[in-house]
């Protein structure tokens, strides 16, 4: 075996997986591996197992990696969820569990040497932690993205304080930071709690240390990610923990913005709403998990809400922060969804003035309650409703962008487009999925925040001019 062992990590799915991959990269570096995208010895694919399309993408990526001639390892959610079943169906890849992450260097040594690994049998990871949230801190279950370890190689962690087990795999002024993992909700369509486990918050001191380290890596915007950010702190004995954490996070030297993702409407307390809307350095951005608007569909999903409650919440947000960004995702074609319930969702969206609307067709997921529900809609009906709502969403979000013409924006520059053009994001735009702002300027650099005025729009994207004197 060559003394220099190289590995490439490919990350699929959500920002939470990106954080997990960076933990794996740090662990591998500590074990003597080198991350290398050119002709690696091993390719680790951090898979997504959320819905059918994500699973197909994961399979296709694993097969493509195998075609490269490298050894292939399947990690992440799909690997955790299916274990031995995936290994049997895909002999091209070695399948590992979250429980293998702590010894990932040794596992890859085994793969490179051709030593067989026995794939795990999937289990409900909620059973690995106590039912009572405040008892979970003492549990030993491995939770990806939560690791703190000492000592670590130079450049991987802060010089003092809790050492963050993370190595950045990309560059740029924006980075996600895992606030918590798992979920205690029991939405009837979602399998995530079974393979991600119960809700576990990271300690505030670990988050503050990681924020300082990321700032030292050139990060200017932190995006807090989790399955449910509004539950943060319940296992720490403090339901106001996120309200208390956000101000010092935003005050971290070098950090210009903090953005919170994935807020549950049922748990968005007035105090937390106030902190997000008014704390300097915390952007007034609300990534709300509505999922539908019809009260009867939401009850079948085992969720909270109806159009009136959701519109009242939006009114409270905009009363505190009139230019706040608001986005949400919606599932159409849920079992039993009638035309009247679908029309109720349409009516809500026409009133809600959301900046971004994600539309997904219902997908049957084994192990969920909805998998056994009666009243399944035909795929043709689901596809038709997805197409209808997607077209409406594009029209409504374009209108919302037009409403922002003439408003002042704080734009975080992310990319030099050449010829004096730069791409960035305003405070109301989350990374990658919420649109962008194009500005003209001279000598701007990624990570810089400029004051601008929106002068035009193209779909959800804005075109802006920099204010004089900035």
Q: What's the rounded Cα separation, in Å, for the pair 261 and 288?
A: 8
Q: Which tokens in the block code for residue 470? A: 């900035």
- Residue ranges of the annotated binding site are 14, 48, 77, 183, 187, 190
Q: Which tokens in the block code for residue 175? A: 């980075």
- Sheet of strand 5-11, all strands in order from the earlier edge strand to the far edge: 33-35, 5-11, 42-47, 71-75, 94-95
Q: Which helix or strand (DSSP H or E) is residue 440 part of?
A: strand 437-440
- Residue ranges of the annotated binding site for [4Fe-4S] cluster are 14, 48, 77, 183, 187, 190
Q: What's the rounded Cα separation, in Å, for the pair 452 and 454?
A: 7
CA 256 to chain centre: 20
Neighbours of 183 (CB within 10 A): 22
Report how far apart, in Å, the C-alpha atoms of 424 and of each of 228, 306, 436 are.
Answer: 27, 35, 6
Neighbours of 304 (CB within 10 A): 17
Q: Are strands 356-361 and 325-332 parallel, antiparallel or unpaired?
A: parallel
Q: What's the rounded Cα separation, in Å, for the pair 43 and 40?
A: 7
Q: What's the rounded Cα separation, in Å, for the pair 314 and 161?
A: 40
Pinpoint the alpha helices (H) of 68-170.
76-82, 84-89, 104-113
Q: What share of the chain is helix, strand, coil (3-state, %, to 5)?
A: 40, 20, 40
CA 158 to chain centre: 24
Q: Which tokens in the block code for residue 265? A: 């409407």
Q: What's the rounded Cα separation, in Å, for the pair 238 and 67?
A: 50
């Amino acid at each position: 075996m060559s003394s220099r062992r190289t590995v490439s990590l490919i990350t699929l799915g959500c920002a939470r997986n990106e954080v997990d991959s960076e933990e794996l990269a740090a662990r591998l570096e500590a074990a003597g591996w080198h991350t290398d995208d050119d002709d690696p010895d091993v390719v680790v694919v951090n898979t997504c197992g959320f819905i059918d399309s994500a699973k197909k993408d994961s399979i296709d990526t694993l097969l493509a990696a195998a075609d490269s001639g490298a050894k292939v390892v399947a990690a992440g959610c799909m690997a955790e969820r299916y274990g031995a079943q995936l290994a049997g169906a895909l002999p091209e890849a070695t399948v590992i569990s979250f429980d293998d992450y702590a010894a990932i260097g040794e596992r890859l040594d085994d793969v490179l040497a051709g030593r067989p690994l026995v794939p795990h049998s999937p289990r409900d990871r909620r059973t690995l932690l106590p039912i009572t949230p405040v008892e979970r801190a003492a549990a030993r279950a491995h939770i990806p993205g939560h690791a703190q370890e000492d000592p670590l190689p130079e450049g991987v962690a802060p010089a003092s304080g809790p050492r963050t087990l993370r190595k950045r795999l990309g560059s740029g002024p924006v980075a996600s930071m895992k606030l918590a993992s798992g979920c205690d909700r029991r939405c009837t369509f979602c399998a995530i709690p079974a393979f991600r486990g119960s809700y576990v918050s990271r300690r505030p001191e670990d988050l503050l240390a990681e924020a300082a380290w990321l700032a030292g890596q050139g990060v200017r915007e932190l995006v807090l990610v989790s399955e449910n950010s509004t539950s943060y702190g319940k296992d720490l004995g403090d339901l106001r923990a996120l309200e208390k954490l956000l101000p010092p996070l935003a005050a971290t030297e070098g950090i210009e913005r903090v953005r919170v993702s994935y807020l549950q409407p049922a748990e968005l307390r007035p105090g937390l709403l106030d902190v997000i809307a008014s704390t300097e350095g915390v952007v007034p951005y609300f990534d709300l998990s509505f999922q539908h608007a019809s009260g009867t569909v939401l009850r079948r999903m085992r969720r909270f809400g109806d159009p009136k409650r959701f519109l009242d919440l939006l009114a409270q947000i905009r009363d505190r922060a009139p230019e706040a960004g608001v986005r949400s995702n919606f599932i159409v074609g849920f079992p039993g969804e009638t035309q009247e319930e679908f029309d109720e969702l349409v009516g809500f969206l026409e009133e809600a003035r959301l900046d971004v609307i994600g539309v997904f067709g219902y997908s049957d997921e084994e192990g969920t309650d909805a998998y056994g529900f009666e009243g399944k809609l035909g795929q043709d009906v689901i596809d038709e409703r997805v197409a209808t709502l997607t077209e409406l969403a594009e029209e409504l979000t374009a209108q919302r962008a037009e409403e922002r013409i003439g408003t002042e924006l704080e734009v975080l520059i992310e990319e030099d487009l050449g010829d004096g053009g730069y791409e960035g994001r305003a405070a109301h735009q989350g990374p990658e999925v919420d649109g962008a702002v194009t500005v003209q300027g001279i000598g701007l650099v990624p990570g810089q925040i400029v004051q601008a005025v929106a002068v035009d729009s193209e779909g959800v994207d804005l075109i802006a001019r920099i204010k004089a004197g900035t």
